[in-house]
Amino acid sequence: MQMTPDLAKQDCSACPIRHRAVCARCEPDELTRLEEIKFYRTYEAGQPVAWAGDKMDFVASVVSGAATLTQTMEDGRRQMVGLLLPSDFVGRPGRSGASYDVVAVTDLVMCCFRKVPFEQMMATTPHVAERLLEMTLDELDAAREWMLVLGRKTAREKIASLLSIFARRDVLVGAAHTRSVEFDLPLTREAMADYLGLTLETVSRQMSALKRDGVITLKGKRGVLVPDLDLLMEEAGDDSDGGMLS
Amino acid sequence: MQMTPDLAKQDCSACPIRHRAVCARCEPDELTRLEEIKFYRTYEAGQPVAWAGDKMDFVASVVSGAATLTQTMEDGRRQMVGLLLPSDFVGRPGRSGASYDVVAVTDLVMCCFRKVPFEQMMATTPHVAERLLEMTLDELDAAREWMLVLGRKTAREKIASLLSIFARRDVLVGAAHTRSVEFDLPLTREAMADYLGLTLETVSRQMSALKRDGVITLKGKRGVLVPDLDLLMEEAGDDSDGGMLS
DNA sequence: CCATTCGTTTGATCTGCGTCAAAGCGCACT
DNA sequence: AGTGCGCTTTGACGCAGATCAAACGAATGG
């Protein structure tokens, strides 16, 4: 959780309000104010960012790495309710504590803003509040999309749906109209199971099945090669194009 | 979908920004502007409010009755992703179309605001934008709570979780510290199944089981009596107090 | 009054996934 | 090289919930 001075001045395109990429309407002095209250934190794989109920005095967005939001029942059953990948946002303006356990699953760099000045900024600059609302609506859509996965999809479809999420972040256009992708899974089988409402054994079995059927190829322990993204998305039972066109 | 003149002047405490109850900071002229762009619509049970992809030129909140947000796969599998009860909000500022099918499940009255003037209002009055963000965050929390239900709870726990949602809206304090509640189920068994990721048969069986075990009593077709709310919430596997204290 | 329809209940059977158990990898230490 | 540890894979078996099927009750309408 130490500061990383070498990052302190970096111009981070994945900042909470994505001020370079999206908030083009921001005035220069607004950007300056954002830069002033910004700092970076790093976490190691497995390290907690916050436990449910803890006070969180900052909001942040992921620069690199991945983190998970999970909920746990008293008897130990766990459900991941959010997956934070680069550019995703954490922290609730107007709420004192974290609602869920936030844990780094790989080495993680986050771009943070102290909560109090950030909220002041929100209250005075409509752009920021609007951008935050837009991001929250996106999260809500993602959560609802996932409700369909959890409630109605088979184990195989669930795995394919999860792989699609990662695959769609790194699409390569191959020859002959097939889109192939290669990426590293940031999650263990257990974490995948927690996300999908399955057990790790079922996850493992279905991964093997998808491999056997040629939908994916496993490269070492973490690497996954998807020769045909369309085939994967068909396996996921997804009617949409996965947002590739938007 | 006809206008209801008798409602047109009613002071609706469940309006989108809940301006009477919540937006106490609003100036009188802001309230007046809201009143000016407000109108009411009624729908009959079963009637669609909007299909996924349709343009929705208004945002609204539920005054009375209930509506559902559902997602459907090509093969017909359906998952409800949201349940709209009085005071709940529908419609996305900044988005052109509905993301999900919105259907009235009982007779429904909605308090609507034309989208364009509402968004103008949002852009100029920080209260409204903040209130909307707060409401969206609440929805997001509810969606994530529901992900735990869908992913990790047993059929019996799922039913109890759903019943808790309705029960907590109408709590009566009984004698001897037990809290008893009585309410009408606004959903059919099939709709409950769509919400819970189950089949209607399983829903029916588990309802019977809860009745047999004295957790609930069925009054006619739709009426449900919960003699002890704490017992129901224990069945739901809920560690929280259900927000009763907050 | 009966017939139709729509939602609900209940039963019998099947199956996908969970559970329990054991073995197979890398990979980091010593 | 050898040992231990964390993660993954694979197998055997059982069960919760799906599926298929039938009957029931209440409301509606001729």
Return the minimum-mean-pLDDT range out of A44-53, A201-210, B196-205, B233-242. B233-242
User: What is the predicted pLDDT for the residue at B228?
Assistant: 92
Which residue's entry shows tokens 């920004």? Answer: B17
Q: How far is B111 from chain A (nearest CA, A)?
A: 21
CA distances from B144 to A53, A78, A87, A143, A163 (A): 16, 12, 20, 7, 20
The predicted model gives A126-145 an average pLDDT of 87
β strands within B24-164, DSSP E:
38-43, 48-50, 58-64, 67-72, 78-84, 89-90, 101-104, 108-114
DSSP-based three-state secondary structure for A59: strand
Q: How far is A4 from chain B (nearest CA, A)?
A: 31
| Farthest CA pair distance, chain B | 56
Q: Residue A102 is encoded by which pair of tokens? A: 């936030």
Tell me: pLDDT of B1 over 50.
no
Higher-pLDDT residue of B52, A3: B52
User: What is the predicted pLDDT for the residue at B126?
Assistant: 76
Tell me: pLDDT of A6 over 50.
no
Q: How far is B4 from chain A (nearest CA, A)?
A: 31
A64 bridge partner residues: A109
Which of A71, A137, A145 comes nearest B92 by C-beta?
A137
Q: Whose CA is closest to A227, among A242, A239, A211?
A: A211
The predicted model gives A237-242 an average pLDDT of 67
Contact by Cβ (8 Å): B128, B207:
no
Q: What DSSP element (H or E) covers A221?
A: none
Q: Residue B17 is encoded by which pair of tokens? A: 């920004």
Would you tell me which CATH number, out of the four given (2.60.120.10, 1.10.760.10, 3.40.30.10, 3.90.1150.10), belongs to the domain B5-150? 2.60.120.10
CA distance A216 to A204: 13
- Taken as a whole, chain B contains a residue count of 246
pLDDT tier at A133 (50, 70, 90 boundaries)? Answer: confident
| Farthest CA pair distance, chain A | 56
A73 bridge partner residues: none
Domain ranges of chain A: 5-150, 154-235
A208 touches strand C (CB under 7 A): no
Tell me: pLDDT of A123 over 60.
yes
* CATH code at A154-235: 1.10.10.10
Contact by Cβ (8 Å): B78, B72:
yes
User: What is the predicted pLDDT for the residue at B38?
Assistant: 84
pLDDT tier at B240 (50, 70, 90 boundaries)? Answer: low
pLDDT tier at B9 (50, 70, 90 boundaries)? Answer: very low
> CB contact, 8 Å: A144 with chain B?
yes
pLDDT tier at A19 (50, 70, 90 boundaries)? Answer: very low
Q: What DSSP element (H or E) covers A189?
A: helix A189-196
Tell me: pLDDT of B242 over 60.
no
| Percentage of chain B modeled with pLDDT above 90 | 54
A168 touches strand C (CB under 7 A): no
DSSP-based three-state secondary structure for A12: coil
pLDDT tier at B19 (50, 70, 90 boundaries)? Answer: very low
B189 touches strand C (CB under 7 A): yes
CA distance A162 to A157: 9
Contacts of A140 in chain B (CB under 8 A): 136, 139-140, 143
Q: Which long-range contacts (CB under 8 A, 24 or more apart) does A50-53 make?
A: A50/A98, A50/A101, A50/A102, A51/A98, A51/A101, A51/A102, A52/A97, A52/A98, A52/A99, A52/A100, A52/A101, A53/A97, A53/A98
Query: Nearest protein residue to D20's C1' (by CA)?
Result: B201
The ipTM is 0.90
B204 touches strand C (CB under 7 A): yes
Output the average pLDDT for chain B.
84
Higher-pLDDT residue of B188, B121: B188
Identity of the residue numbered A53: G
Tell me: pLDDT of B23 over 70.
no
CA distance B86 to B225: 21
pLDDT tier at A175 (50, 70, 90 boundaries)? Answer: low
The predicted model gives B67-95 an average pLDDT of 92
Count Cβ neighbours within 10 Å for each residue of A59-75 and write b for 16 or more, e otherwise. bbbbbbbbbbbbbbeee
In chain B, residues 29 through 88 whose Cβ sits under 7 angstroms from any atom of nucleic acid strand C? none
- DSSP, res A96: S
B90 bridge partner residues: B60
> CB contact, 8 Å: A73 with chain B?
yes
Tell me: pLDDT of B42 over 90.
yes
State which residue of chain A sits closest to B119, comparing Cα positions: A130
Question: What is the DSSP secondary-structure string of B194-208?
Answer: HHHTS-HHHHHHHHH
β strands within chain A, DSSP E:
38-43, 48-50, 58-64, 67-72, 78-84, 89-90, 101-104, 108-114, 171-173, 179-184, 217-219, 223-226
Strand order in the sheet with B78-84: B48-50, B101-104, B67-72, B78-84
User: What is the predicted pLDDT for the residue at A17?
Assistant: 45
User: What is the predicted pLDDT for the residue at B3?
Assistant: 44
User: What is the predicted pLDDT for the residue at A2?
Assistant: 43
Tell me: pLDDT of B13 over 80.
no
Return the minimum-mean-pLDDT range out of A129-138, B38-47, B170-179. B170-179
State which residue of chain B sits closest to A72, comparing Cα positions: B148
State which residue of chain B sits closest to A147, comparing Cα positions: B147
